[in-house]
Structure 1
């Protein structure tokens, strides 16, 4: 069974992503379409793993993964991880800052994995970090501060 994106979703039951929840934006004309469908699963209440299949549109002229794509994937992965950890209401939160450290060239073809951790949560903020890997090798690291979505009144 496929997920219905940010509106909810159940773990997939077939294929290489069995046990993961698929994340896709139900709106067809958003930037998420350029990144692609992500897959996520919670590892604990403060850790989650987000996966993504890479494709040729993610590459730069050197045939490695584009740095801008990796930054966009990182931003996407923070929200997918929060969602997987049970913070479903935070799909409408906003990124206040995002820092990237590029550690190696990623390739088109192998899946990317973002190991995401919430370092601290306050009343209004999440302080987070991640390591992006591909084939067991570090590709990038990131830190971010996410401003929580307002509570509906």
Structure 2
């Protein structure tokens, strides 16, 4: 994690407690916001890609309230996880502070059905960062070896304007 992240600002909005095995909780302090529907969430920095790109893993634990009529993870839940994961990962990479950044675009391709009762992980990779934009991509996976791919994604975040 980059030490340039302003911890007090971040804690104003998030409860970021250290957990086991390098995981950090990623839960909003305000339970009335959308994120609370997917919580508890956690994030950890993963080893970089072979070409040195930063990576992070964001995890949720889907339960019955996250299911569709087919008893799989609802697509909207997977999309919500991805959108939150873009920001959680960018924070862990040191690319964002707690400002009001926004998702500019998010492209997803559903590959398989998410399973209820099994950790659902968004693996996020930093593709490129400019002065105002962060380009990310990744997979949402399940299984001990990340062998069940639920969806692939690519997204862009626009950083908050300097105050």
Q: After TM superposition, is the score higher than 0.5?
A: yes
The answer for the alignment partner of 1:28 in structure 2 is 31
In structure 2, relative to structure 1, the CA distance for the partners of 1:5 and 1:131 (3 Å cut) is farther
Please tell me whether the aligned partners of residues 103 and 140 of structure 1 are also in contact (alpha carbons under 8 angstroms): yes
* Match in the other structure for 1:75: 83
Structure 2 unaligned segments of length 5 or more: list them: 1-10
**CA–CA distance in structure 2, aligned partners of residues 7 and 107 of structure 1:** 27
CA pair 113-5 structure 1, distance change in 2 beyond 3 A: farther
Q: Distance in 2 between matches of 1:54 and 1:91?
A: 28
Q: 1:125 corresponds to which residue?
A: 133
1:87 deviates by 3.2
1:19 alignment partner in structure 2:
22
Please state whether the residue corresponding to 1:50 is helix, strand or coil.
strand
The aligned runs of 1:4-153 (5 Å cut-off) are 6-7=13-14, 9-13=16-20, 18-43=21-46, 44=48, 46-90=54-98, 92-135=100-143, 136=146, 137-152=148-163
Normalization by structure 1: what TM-score?
Answer: 0.86
Name the TM-score, length of structure 2 as normaliser: 0.81
Q: How many residues align?
A: 145
Is the contact made by 1:126 and 1:147 (CA closer than 8 Å) also made in structure 2? yes
